[in-house]
Homo-oligomer: A and B are copies of this chain.
Amino acid sequence: MGRRSDHNREELEALILAEGHRHMAEAGFAKFSSREVAKRIGYSVGTLYNVFGSYDRLIVAINTRTFHLWAAYLEHCLASNPKDGRESRPETRIAALVEGYFSFARENTNIWMAIYDHRLPPGIPMPEDYARQRAVLTEVVVREVAAALPPESGAIAPRLARSLVATVHGHCTFALNGSFALLGETDPLEMATARVRESLRAAGARL
């Protein structure tokens, strides 16, 4: 049948992705539907499948975009705490990072949760884009952790950074899914920040 005059393949992919991202933000992972995305952009379901191949690949593309937004958001948070200003202490920048992790998740709950709600069927490998965007995000943390540690400890920064991301992730998850509220915890961000500070100090950081 026919090529439409108003969208080439590239534009169509971008259109689906943009609307898919919006729908995910509004509806959340559990209620997300590829049919609904198709309806919203005025194409039929089949077209979506021609472009993305499957539901899973569409979700992965949406999540990849979320990683991109997230990394940009964190860099923006850090830019408010410049290295050379009065508030340039590594502690401040680390705190800004933890706070940024939490506030991105809080202000974009559905798209943030979708990253962890979705799991690829076993055997299907992650697209390269996904791994790369995720690595970018991790690199930001590695860089800041390395800056907080004494120069001679730089080698351990990557492993420690990954571990601290997991620490913050755990706290953020419990904050957003109600686990902390259920158990009586009222300030998850403070708890996460404290745990990160302790581990950095144990690794030799002077905070």
A residues sitting closer than 8 Å to B (CB atoms) are: 30, 116-117, 119, 126, 131, 134-135, 138, 158-159, 162-171, 173-174, 177-180, 182-185, 188, 191-192, 194-195, 198-199, 201-202
Q: How far is the CB of A190 from chain B (nearest CB, A)?
A: 9
Check A162–B134 contact: CB distance below 8 A. Answer: no
Check B185–A162 contact: CB distance below 8 A. Answer: yes
CB contacts (< 8 Å) of A174 on chain B: these are 162, 165-166, 169
Chain A to chain B: the 7 pairs with minimum beta-carbon distance, closest first: A170-B170, A166-B170, A198-B202, A163-B191, A169-B170, A166-B171, A166-B174
**Distance between Cα atoms of A5 and B152 in the complex (Å):** 75
**22 residue pairs from A and B, CB less than 8 Å apart:** A116-B173, A116-B177, A117-B117, A131-B182, A134-B179, A134-B182, A135-B183, A138-B183, A162-B174, A162-B183, A162-B185, A163-B171, A163-B195, A165-B174, A166-B167, A166-B180, A166-B188, A167-B195, A169-B173, A198-B198, A198-B202, A199-B199
**Distance between Cα atoms of A144 and B173 in the complex (Å):** 23
Given contacts A162-B180, A163-B194, A170-B173, list 4 more A-B pairs with CB under 8 A.
A30-B119, A126-B182, A163-B192, A165-B170
Q: How far is the CB of A23 from chain B (nearest CB, A)?
A: 18
Q: Which residue of B lies closest to A158 (CB)?
A: B184
Check A171–B180 contact: CB distance below 8 A. Answer: no
**Distance between Cα atoms of A61 and B70 in the complex (Å):** 35
CB contacts (< 8 Å) of A194 on chain B: these are 163
Question: Among A183, A185, A198, A202, which residue has the most Cβ atoms of chain B within 10 A?
Answer: A183
With A162-B185, A163-B195, A182-B126 as contacts: A177 and B119 at CB distance below 8 Å: yes
CB contacts (< 8 Å) of A173 on chain B: these are 116, 166, 169-170, 173
**Distance between Cα atoms of A194 and B177 in the complex (Å):** 26
**Distance between Cα atoms of A38 and B199 in the complex (Å):** 49
CB contacts (< 8 Å) of A195 on chain B: these are 163-164, 167, 195, 199
